[in-house]
Amino acid sequence: MFELNANLKQTFEETAKAMRLRLQQKPSVDALRFMVVDRGIGSFRMCQKLDCRGLSSIAQKGRIVGVDGSTNNAGGPFPYSFTLQQALAKVCSSKEEDVVITDAISPLTMKDAITEEEYRDFIKRNLAELEVKAALEALDKFNPRVVLLDGSLVRYKIESAPMWETLKNRALAQDAVLVGVVEGISTNIISSCLEDALELGGFPASDWEILFGLLQVGEILEIVPGLFKEGFRTFFMRSSLDPKPIGIDLLEEQQEYLAEVSNLIFTLTPQDGRGIPLWLDIIDKNVRITDAVMEGLLNTYLGEDYAEFLKPKRERRQM
Amino acid sequence: MQMQVVGLTTPQEVYVASKDRKFRINELLVLEDPYQGNLIGEVVESNSYNRFIPLSIGSSIHDADVLESLKHLGYSISEDEINIAKVKLITEASFPVVTGSSVRLPAFDEVRGHLLKGVREDGLLLGEIKNTEETAATMEDDLKGLCEMFSGGKLYKTKNVPFFLDLRSFQQYPHIGVFGGSGSGKSFGLRVIMEEIMKHGFPALMLDPHYEMEFSESQESSEEKRDFKDNFRKFQIGEHIGVEFLNLSRGDLLALLSAVSPLTEAMSSAIESLHLRGDTYLSFSNRLELLSEALEMGRLRIEQALKQDMEPMEREKYIKMRQLLEEYQNIPLPSVQGIAWRLRRLHNSGLFSHDIKPVKEAMMQGKLAVIQGPIWLLQVFSTYLLSNIYRKRRDYKDGELKGEASGDYFPPFIIATDEAHNFAPKGRDAATKGIITEIAQEGRKYGVFLILATQRPTLLDETVTAQLNTKIIFRTVRASDIGTISEETDIKAEEARRLPYLPSGDAFVSSPLFGRTVAIRVRFPHTRSPHTQNPLDEIQLHRESSEDKLFEAIKPHLPIYAANFARAVEEINRHAGANYEVRTLKAALDTLVEKGKLTRKASPLGDIYQATDI
Ligand SMILES: Nc1ncnc2c1ncn2[C@@H]1O[C@H](COP(=O)(O)OP(=O)(O)OP(=O)(O)O)[C@@H](O)[C@H]1O
Ligand SMILES: [Mg+2]
């Protein structure tokens, strides 16, 4: 057994106490909701699960596409690393082929020498770019009505600006609604508006903290225009029994579809799940590059001797 | 159609996946290993699963809504099904099969050796090997459509690879067990085996306690009319055949009498002293009658009677009585009376008025001799009959070995019986047990082979069971019997689990010749038993009654969701004391759907089974 020394134990206890205190200081749900409305941060609204008719009317306008990406690293310490990336756009249909774009990268094969930091940044941007490419191709191929992207739309704008512009323009032209679905909310829109009213033990509150338990199942909090990043609209939704809501981004130009999109997402989300539309979950499972695949690829193309050479000591220890 | 080796492999076992082909148990596959060449494997487990259903944690009903919505948007989750087969290699590989190796169905020539043993002319054509249609398509033409099958209410020529049991291999693996519960197809199976034996003109003897083994009427529905009028002879004990009292050993006699009704110890010892060498029925029964009269009269009255005047015949009788009384004074009257009563009963059955010559004659002519009688009489009679003909064969063979060409020729032969556990029961004695055990252990040397069928393999003597090299196993429900079968055969756990659900006529053949279990369906017999006037009607009746039972068990648990099979199975088993499993429950439900008793509603979470509203 791990012996807790007295010091450590004390720290744990104090932390727990502080957390409890902080939560106690958090205003009640009613109070928070009042503040949100009172200060003009946003408005609450209930979504509806779509019935067959509702779904058919969306389906008539076009298909539903989901986009997600995945990265896996293998190999040894920098620069012996080998990165495999994959983006998948999957249309909600049983007949069509998916759009899959893969890319393999290694610092050793790059034109210019690169630092570890730069490499990390590069693969981050590269993945965003692959995802945008996949979405673009899906626009061409499937003529969708709604494109669900896994993660905030803002991220694409930041990490893959030129491609993002192309995607956005194409989507607007085709009247395809781009939707970013964010599982872990990391914004501070509400909290920064309530800064003065919330004094939670010296630390500013963050959005997820305020939103926890604030919404009823199927309820959304629509943030007023202008508070979120320029060019986008955002809203939060408790899409399942899970008290942590998800965030949903739209293009400002497409904000008129907010109700349609929120109803659709609520409909496609399992009540007992973690709040993500099942379609995105399915895509997540499909796009994921497993360690077994990586290892297989390395062994096949690098040779087992090199693979062995690159394997971290830690892994070998277990054998 | 693409199939591939996936996952972790060993030299004995691999998994094969396919997106669009459902695997069938026991089918053979070719694994194309780039290093070891083509390997042959057999599917031992087959699963289909949806890659995404495991996502649906907790209440599946809500997820069902979501899936339903996706369906409206054009995506049916069932399309994301993957089929996985566990495949056992039957050609041993020296190292693990390469993952990713492609897999295909074999052409017949690639697996001929695994499907056909021996030459066709020497084979007993029992039926078809299940799930071999594709392979069978590449067979030479004269192996195609060799027999008629009956299933699903239809009669048709087989499209599968034929299953032959090599008669020549009996020398090596002489004895066959046929196991299966009531209605599982044993009698049909035995009938087919005997028909095949008759086709080969191999002498055989069949004990028929059910009076059902008649081979003179061909099946009405069958296309190829064929009967065996000239290939078999039917004998009823007492009517056509019997025992020669003169040739009875003391043991035979004891067995016969006790078969009528068990003998007391006093009776047995009385017989020991009363039965004399050279006794005929007449001499023996006379002795009993006189002794019993003498015991009744008593010494004094006999002496008195002898003092009076009487006919010489009469006098002789009294002298004889006095003599018997002196000789057997210790035997109590009731014993003598008991023996006499039993003997009369045997006599009245006609047993002592005939002999076994006609049976031997039929066998000498290469025919099948069917012996019918009530089971008690069949037991004692066959003790006598089997010992007799086995001795004849043994004497001839031994003589031949010693170079004495003296003995009369008697051919090798096959002995078949249903209800074998009555003839060689475990843990208790039966008249026939000795001779059957002896043949089981030594029959091979003399070309005497056993085919023993029983509903209850667990009740069959272990020594005998151990000698049954080839086992044909039909549907078996009783757990203890499944246990015995698993122990006594090379049947795999997966197959043992399927035993309770085999349709009538389907069987596993476990034979050292094949080195594995082969799943077969027994062909439709050429002839029919006198009981079954119209086999079509009977089959339908039979099926309906078992379906009714199933439906009653399932009814309280409706509706059943495919996604919830596991729980449904548990509940049904608990309430009905049944032994269903998920896969078999599904098959059973589908049958009920076919019959219109249930309706199956497709839902994205899998099917929902509901009672059909009437
Ligand atoms: N090979 C077969 N082809 C078609 N139907 C069959 C086959 N075998 C059995 N059946 C069907 O199953 C029924 C029962 O079979 P069978 O009489 O052989 O059972 P059994 O095992 O001898 O039962 P029991 O132990 O009660 O005598 C048959 O009447 C027939 O309808
Ligand atoms: Mg029977």
How do the domains of chain A map onto residue ranges?
27-61+184-275
Dihedrals φ, ψ of A15, to 5°?
Answer: -60, -45
DSSP string computed for A26-59: SPPHHHHHHHHHHTTSEEEEE-----HHHHHHHH
Q: Which of B504, B531, B534 to mutate to test the pocket of ligand 1 (most atoms within 8 A of CB)?
A: B504
pLDDT digits (tens, 9 = 90+) for A264-306: 999 999 888 888 898 898 888 888 887 877 777 777 777 667 7
Burial class (CB in 10 A: 0-12, 13-18, 19+), A112: exposed
How close does chain A come to B469, measured CA to CA in Å?
A: 46
Residue B61's pLDDT band, with cuts at 50, 70 and 90, is: very low
* β-pair type (B28-33, B102-104): antiparallel
Q: What is the pLDDT of residue B572?
A: 76
Percent of chain A exceeding pLDDT 90 equals 48
Q: How far apart are CA B160 and CA B137, in angstroms?
A: 8
Nearest-CB residue to A52 (from B66, B72, B74): B72
Contact B309, B318 (CB under 8 A): no
Best residue in A64, A94, A146, A297 to probe B by mutation, most B CBs within 10 Å? A94
Q: What is the pLDDT of residue B406?
A: 64
Q: What is the mean pLDDT of residues A21-29?
A: 82
Nearest Cα to B420, choosing from B382, B384, B446?
B382
Identify the helix (H) or strand (E) that includes residue A257. Answer: none
Helices B333-348/B265-274 angle, 10° precision: 80
- Average pLDDT of chain B? 86
Q: How many other β-carbons are positioned within 10 Å of the β-carbon of residue B193?
A: 24
Q: What is the pLDDT of residue A188?
A: 87
Helices B333-348/B281-297 angle, 10° precision: 150
Lowest mean pLDDT of B15-19, B362-366, B536-540, name the range: B536-540
Prior bond of A107 cis (ω within 30°):
no
Identify the helix (H) or strand (E) that includes residue A11. Answer: helix A6-25
Of residues B140 and A314, the one with the higher pLDDT is B140
Does A278 contact chain B (CB < 8 Å)?
yes
DSSP string computed for A163-201: HHHHHHHHHHHHTPEEEEEESS----HHHHHTTTT--BT
How close does chain A come to B549, measured CA to CA in Å?
A: 38
How far CA A155 is from CA of A102, A151, A243, B12, in Å, comes to 20, 7, 25, 51
Identify the helix (H) or strand (E) that includes residue B341. Answer: helix B333-348
How close does chain B come to A52, measured CA to CA in Å?
A: 7
Q: What is the mean pLDDT of residues B539-563?
A: 70
Of residues B72 and A269, the one with the higher pLDDT is A269
Nearest CA in chain B to A282: B52
Lowest mean pLDDT of B200-209, B343-352, B419-428, name the range: B343-352
Q: How far apart are CA B391 and CA B384, in angstroms?
A: 11
pLDDT digits (tens, 9 = 90+) for B477-500: 988 999 999 988 888 888 888 899
* β-pair type (B368-372, B232-236): parallel
- CA atoms within a 13 Å half-sphere pointing along the CA-CB vector of A40: 3
Say which DSSP state B557 is in: G
Contact B411, B444 (CB under 8 A): no
Ligand 1 atom nearest residue B506's Cα? 1
* β-pair type (A144-150, A63-75): parallel
Say which DSSP state B211 is in: S
pLDDT digits (tens, 9 = 90+) for B495-512: 888 899 899 999 999 999
Give the sign of the dihedral formed by CA B550, CA B551, CA B553, CA B554. Answer: positive
Q: Is the pLDDT of residue A157 over 70?
A: yes
Burial class (CB in 10 A: 0-12, 13-18, 19+), A26: middle
Nearest CA in chain A to B66: A268
| Top-ranked range on mean pLDDT: pick from A167-181, B20-34, B205-219, B401-415 | A167-181
Q: How far apart are CA A204 and CA A206, in angstroms?
A: 7
Nearest Cα to A301, choosing from A125, A121, A109?
A109
Q: Is the pLDDT of residue B536 over 70?
A: no
Q: How far apart are CA B234 and CA B542, in angstroms?
A: 28
Q: What is the pLDDT of residue B223?
A: 74
Q: What is the mean pLDDT of residues B24-45?
A: 90
CB contact under 8 A, B69 and A50: yes
Q: How many other β-carbons are positioned within 10 Å of the β-carbon of residue B152?
A: 11
The separation between CA B189 and the C-alpha centre of its own chain, rounded to angstroms, equals 7
Task: Starting from the CA of residue B473, give the closest ligand.
Answer: 1
Lining ligand 1 with CB less than 6 A are: B 150, 180, 182-188, 455, 504-505, 522, 524, 535, 538-539, 542
Give the E-state strand segments of B230-372 in sequence order. Answer: 232-236, 368-372
Q: How many other β-carbons are positioned within 10 Å of the β-carbon of residue A138?
A: 24
Q: Is the pLDDT of residue B271 over 70?
A: yes
Give the E-state strand segments of chain A in sequence order. Answer: 42-46, 63-75, 81-91, 99-105, 144-150, 177-182, 219-223, 232-237, 246-251
Q: What is the pLDDT of residue B457?
A: 93
Q: What is the pLDDT of residue B277?
A: 87
Contact B64, B604 (CB under 8 A): yes
* Interval between CA B575 and ligand 1 midpoint (Å): 29
Query: Quick one: three-class SS letters along B458-513?
Result: HHECHHHHHHCCEEEECCCCCHHHHHHHHHHCCCCHHHHHHHHHCCCCEEEEEECC
Residue B432's pLDDT band, with cuts at 50, 70 and 90, is: confident
Q: Is the pLDDT of residue B50 over 90?
A: no
Dihedrals φ, ψ of B24, to 5°?
Answer: -115, 140
Ligand 1, atom 13: nearest CA belongs to which residue? Answer: B183
Nearest-CB residue to A92 (from B57, B58, B73): B73
Of residues B108 and B550, the one with the higher pLDDT is B108
CB contact under 8 A, A55 and B59: no
Q: How far apart are CA B38 and CA B27, in angstroms?
A: 16
Q: How far apart are CA B100 and CA B7, in angstroms?
A: 8
Q: What is the pLDDT of residue B56?
A: 46
Q: Is the pLDDT of residue A226 over 90?
A: no
Q: Is the pLDDT of residue A200 over 70?
A: no
Nearest Cα to B559, choosing from B504, B612, B489, B491?
B612
Nearest-CB residue to B69 (from A55, A271, A272): A55
Helix (H, G, I), strand (E, B) or coil at B372: strand
Identify the helix (H) or strand (E) that includes residue B596. Answer: none
Q: How far apart are CA B387 and CA A24, in angstroms?
A: 96
Q: How far apart are CA B13 and CA B44, in angstroms?
A: 10
Residues in chain A: 319
Helices and strands, counts by H and E, chain A: 13, 9
Which two structure tokens, joined as six digits, stand for A74? 């293998």
Q: How far apart are CA A295 and CA A304, in angstroms?
A: 10
Lowest mean pLDDT of A43-47, A308-312, B236-240, name the range: A308-312
Query: What is the ipTM score, two decimals?
Result: 0.76
CB contact under 8 A, B59 and A269: no
Which two structure tokens, joined as six digits, stand for B216? 């003179």
